[in-house]
Chains A and B, each alone.
Chain A
Amino acid sequence: MTRAVAPERRAERFIALEEHESTHDRLVWGMRQHRDQAVAGVPEWEGLRELASQIKEHTLTNLDHYLEQFEENAKKLGTHVHWARDTGEHNAIVYDVLRTHSVRSLIKSKSMLQEECGMTPYLEKRGITVTESDLGERIQQLSHEPPSHIVVPAIHKLRTDIAELFAREIGSDPKNAEPHYLTEAMRANARPRFLAADAAMTGANFAVAETGGFVVCTNEGNADIGASVPPLHIASIGIEKLIPRARDLGVFVRMLSRSALGSPMTQYTSHFHGPRRGGELHVVLVDNTRSERLGSPDFWHALKCIRCGACMNTCPVYRRGGGLSYGATYSGPIGVILDPGFDLEKYRELPFHSSLCGSCTQVCPVKIDVSDQIYKWRRVVAARGMLRLSKRVGMSALGATLAHPAAFRAAESAAETALAGLPRFALYNPLNPWGRHRELPDVPRTTFRQWYLEHRAKEDR
């Protein structure tokens, strides 16, 4: 079996960096609070959630129809439309277009799908320089790390980490960690690359079947500088990004940034309808396991996701452990339910990296049953025999004990004897994780059952 990512160990290392963890928790919880304030300003919010969910369910249920409609309308606008079954096909298509246009340098805005495809390393191996234009993504690119959050990719870093990184990579003052200074330093460094790029790549937040256009939302305008300067623009679009009509955008655009950061809209909501004059526009529609997921009764609802990150912001486990602990393209609760669909063996521990508090399900703007899906993935992992050995053996023994009253009572008195009789060093050791940061409970003299037999059962007789 492939070695599994161990999110709990990575999370433990992040928590050990005390200032990182506490700052991360405070900032990410702050986004949740901003979301709450923004939602309070939209009294019909719950109705919008229901509508958004229904639009997505309808689209996914008729996805073949809407994809073909999108393709037809996009072509009418002069857009080249490509279809990719998986990451390999996506990367090959992109590289082919770039090679045909003799592209040496590429500016890209944020795209989780391109992360999913491992596109940047693929292109760089073939001699194409790729520059992220989103500030957070650029920080992550220079750090050789994947994004830790869908919306704010470098949120796990402190300002001082970034000052150090920029000093090393772009020669800024290592002692100046002031955000304006750091942003300006990167702006001055990146601008010439932006202007000299041969091609631009973007993702898409929404693709509209009835128009053949697509929408890219950013807060930095970085997708726009990319798409406006070089003559060639390629957009990678997951097939679940389709919505039927332009008017449906009104539902999603109202919810996206409110859910993500608590702002009414992203600063830039850019609509692309065919190539600009003298330019060329390509769209790559990517499946990469989405069709397979669409056929799963338990998990197809995850395809409704609009990548707002609200589930990450509210997740107490994500906030403590950080996004990199998931060791996957998608982190947080949405990652826990998406990643095992890409590689169950590798991500088999992720469904257990959750306290199942259910907050993710409540904040999700498109009403994905995130928490229930986490629970169901646990069943899949266990049913495929992929539970770690200690859990497999432990649960089997526990199940055998708890099914029989006499066995249960024997275990109870054994546990009490153990807890009461063992010295402190035996209870609080590294092999007993409970005791690392917590005391064990006191042991009562009797169980409830014994008390009941003494005080009540006699009266019944």
Chain B
Amino acid sequence: MQTWLPMKVGLFIPCYVDAFFPEVGVATLELLERLGCSVEYPLDQTCCGQPMANSGCQDDAAATEAHFVRCFQDFEVVVGPSGSCVHHVRQNLDATEQTPAALKVRASTRELVEFLYDDLRIEAFPWARFPHKVGLHNSCSAARGLGHERPSERVNDPLFSKTRNLLGKVHGLELVEIDRLDECCGFGGSFCVTDEAVSAKMGWDRVRDFHRHGAEYIASADMSCLLHMKGVIDRLGLPLKAIHIAQILNGAAR
């Protein structure tokens, strides 16, 4: 049985998820509620500041980061379905003044997978069925930045993957193995337009790796990688779909 106490969770829905992938926000919210969390979505939230900070523009990021802190400072824990945004909050949100509130928000912001695996220690998702071949794409900021899995470079460390563990609890889901386990898909924020040729080639190679190994879906905890890879899939006309892990764990009806 699950034994955690209900937590007051602040739901962090990154700007591009809000605009382009509302269904991922809905799946995250519903999943957390199913698991007994009390979830609130602060209506004034916008963005964590990563797009500006990632380009080196600390001055332009400061006000957005300060706003992020104001929106979430009253929550015990903040959960967001995006490895790269959570990585920014935890590791790099320092354009704004490092007040006690800022430090608290940074320390208590969790990516969905680590919240489910490390904090709630979920053992089962009885409602989740996904009878498909799925290729797992852990984003670089989740895999190497937040430690969702053992990075492929650390060949002598014990093998683990929090994401793989959670997906293993979904009925019918079959994970496919690919050639380059954690190769970057080439999204990289504004890199995807400023370095378009390299970014696109990385995306094509990544998507083809999944396709070659028979995946029907590419699943990830990062919608930004999936946005980029979906663009490539559609252009190449491959029979592949992109899906966020929150949707699978919430029992996506497919």
Chain A residues in the interface with B (C-beta under 8 A): 7-8, 11-12, 15-16, 21, 25, 29, 36, 39-40, 42-43, 45-46, 314, 316-317, 320-321, 351-359, 361-363, 375, 377-383, 387, 391-392, 395-396, 398-400, 402-405, 408, 412, 415-416, 433-434, 436-441, 443-444, 446-453, 456-457, 460
The complex places the Cα of A412 from the Cα of B45 at a distance, in Å, of: 13
Could you tell me if A399 and B63 are in contact, using CB atoms closer than 8 angstroms?
A: yes
In the assembled complex, which residues on chain B have CB atoms less than 8 Å from the CB atom of A399? 49, 52, 57, 59-64
Given A43-B156, A456-B29, A448 and B51 touching (CB < 8 A)? Answer: no
The complex places the Cα of A213 from the Cα of B49 at a distance, in Å, of: 52
Could you tell me if A46 and B154 are in contact, using CB atoms closer than 8 angstroms?
A: yes
In the assembled complex, which residues on chain A have CB atoms less than 8 Å from the CB atom of B156? 39-40, 42-43, 45-46
Could you tell me if A383 and B56 are in contact, using CB atoms closer than 8 angstroms?
A: yes
B10 lies within 8 A of chain A by Cβ: no
The complex places the Cα of A408 from the Cα of B15 at a distance, in Å, of: 9
Chain B residue at minimal CB-CB distance from A363: B153
Q: Which one of B102-110, B128-136, B211-219, B229-237 is at the interface?
A: B229-237
For B, the interface residue count at a CB cutoff of 8 angstroms equals 79
Given A39-B155, A382-B58, A399-B61, A320 and B202 touching (CB < 8 A)? Answer: yes
Q: How far is the CB of B226 from chain A (nearest CB, A)?
A: 10
In the assembled complex, which residues on chain B have CB atoms less than 8 Å from the CB atom of A377? 56
Could you tell me if A402 and B198 are in contact, using CB atoms closer than 8 angstroms?
A: no
Q: Which one of B112-120, B170-178, B189-197 is at the interface?
A: B189-197
Given A351-B56, A408-B47, A391 and B201 touching (CB < 8 A)? Answer: no
Could you tell me if A412 and B18 are in contact, using CB atoms closer than 8 angstroms?
A: yes
Chain B residue at minimal CB-CB distance from A18: B201
Could you tell me if B60 and A391 are in contact, using CB atoms closer than 8 angstroms?
A: no
Could you tell me if A439 and B235 are in contact, using CB atoms closer than 8 angstroms?
A: yes
Q: How far is the CB of B110 from chain A (nearest CB, A)?
A: 19
Could you tell me if A438 and B232 are in contact, using CB atoms closer than 8 angstroms?
A: yes
Could you tell me if A387 and B60 are in contact, using CB atoms closer than 8 angstroms?
A: no
Given A21-B201, A355-B186, A383-B58, A451 and B26 touching (CB < 8 A)? Answer: yes
Q: How far is the CB of A400 from chain B (nearest CB, A)?
A: 8
Could you tell me if A403 and B57 are in contact, using CB atoms closer than 8 angstroms?
A: no
Given A46-B157, A387-B57, A405-B46, A438 and B203 touching (CB < 8 A)? Answer: yes
Q: How far is the CB of B232 from chain A (nearest CB, A)?
A: 5
B23 lies within 8 A of chain A by Cβ: yes
> Would you list 12 pairs from A and B whose C-beta atoms are within 8 A, ordered by A residue?
A352-B190, A355-B184, A355-B186, A355-B191, A378-B54, A395-B51, A399-B57, A399-B59, A399-B60, A437-B232, A438-B232, A444-B23
Could you tell me if B45 and A447 are in contact, using CB atoms closer than 8 angstroms?
A: no
The complex places the Cα of A305 from the Cα of B13 at a distance, in Å, of: 40
Q: How far is the CB of A414 from chain B (nearest CB, A)?
A: 11
Q: How far is the CB of A432 from chain B (nearest CB, A)?
A: 8
B21 lies within 8 A of chain A by Cβ: yes
B167 lies within 8 A of chain A by Cβ: no
Could you tell me if A437 and B204 are in contact, using CB atoms closer than 8 angstroms?
A: yes
Chain A residue at minimal CB-CB distance from B190: A391
From B17, B46, B198, A403 is in contact (CB under 8 Å) with: B46
Could you tell me if B43 and A453 are in contact, using CB atoms closer than 8 angstroms?
A: yes
In the assembled complex, which residues on chain A have CB atoms less than 8 Å from the CB atom of B29? 452, 456
Could you tell me if B140 and A357 are in contact, using CB atoms closer than 8 angstroms?
A: yes
In the assembled complex, which residues on chain A have CB atoms less than 8 Å from the CB atom of B55? 352, 378, 382, 387, 391, 395
B187 lies within 8 A of chain A by Cβ: yes
In the assembled complex, which residues on chain A have CB atoms less than 8 Å from the CB atom of B92? 375
B145 lies within 8 A of chain A by Cβ: yes
In the assembled complex, which residues on chain A have CB atoms less than 8 Å from the CB atom of B13? 448-449
Could you tell me if A448 and B197 are in contact, using CB atoms closer than 8 angstroms?
A: no
Q: What would 18 more interface pairs be, CB under 8 Å, given A46-B156, A444-B21, A449-B18?
A: A39-B156, A355-B184, A356-B188, A358-B140, A378-B54, A392-B57, A396-B57, A398-B51, A402-B49, A433-B196, A434-B193, A437-B201, A437-B235, A438-B231, A441-B227, A444-B23, A452-B29, A452-B43
The complex places the Cα of A25 from the Cα of B206 at a distance, in Å, of: 13
Chain A residue at minimal CB-CB distance from B16: A441
From B17, B40, B194, B203, A448 is in contact (CB under 8 Å) with: B17
The complex places the Cα of A12 from the Cα of B61 at a distance, in Å, of: 30
Chain B residues in the interface with A (C-beta under 8 A): 13, 15, 17-26, 29, 40-41, 43-47, 49, 51-52, 54-64, 66-67, 92, 140-141, 144-145, 151-157, 180, 182-184, 186-205, 227-228, 230-232, 234-235
Could you tell me if B18 and A356 are in contact, using CB atoms closer than 8 angstroms?
A: no
The complex places the Cα of A455 from the Cα of B62 at a distance, in Å, of: 32
In the assembled complex, which residues on chain B have CB atoms less than 8 Å from the CB atom of A398? 51-52, 60
From B22, B60, B197, A396 is in contact (CB under 8 Å) with: B60
Chain B residue at minimal CB-CB distance from A438: B231
In the assembled complex, which residues on chain B have CB atoms less than 8 Å from the CB atom of A381? 56
Could you tell me if B180 and A29 are in contact, using CB atoms closer than 8 angstroms?
A: yes
Q: Which 8 A-B pairs have the closest CB atoms?
A: A438-B231, A378-B56, A399-B60, A355-B188, A448-B25, A382-B56, A437-B200, A403-B63
Could you tell me if B46 and A402 are in contact, using CB atoms closer than 8 angstroms?
A: yes
Given A314-B153, A355-B199, A441-B227, A404 and B46 touching (CB < 8 A)? Answer: yes
Chain B residue at minimal CB-CB distance from A356: B188
Chain A residue at minimal CB-CB distance from B199: A355
Chain B residue at minimal CB-CB distance from A453: B43
Could you tell me if A412 and B19 are in contact, using CB atoms closer than 8 angstroms?
A: yes
Q: How far is the CB of A442 from chain B (nearest CB, A)?
A: 8
Could you tell me if A362 and B144 are in contact, using CB atoms closer than 8 angstroms?
A: yes
Q: How far is the CB of A452 from chain B (nearest CB, A)?
A: 5
In the assembled complex, which residues on chain A have CB atoms less than 8 Å from the CB atom of B183? 316
In the assembled complex, which residues on chain B have CB atoms less than 8 Å from the CB atom of A356? 54, 140, 188-189, 191
In the assembled complex, which residues on chain A have CB atoms less than 8 Å from the CB atom of B40? 460
Given A40-B155, A383-B58, A452 and B41 touching (CB < 8 A)? Answer: yes
The complex places the Cα of A443 from the Cα of B16 at a distance, in Å, of: 11
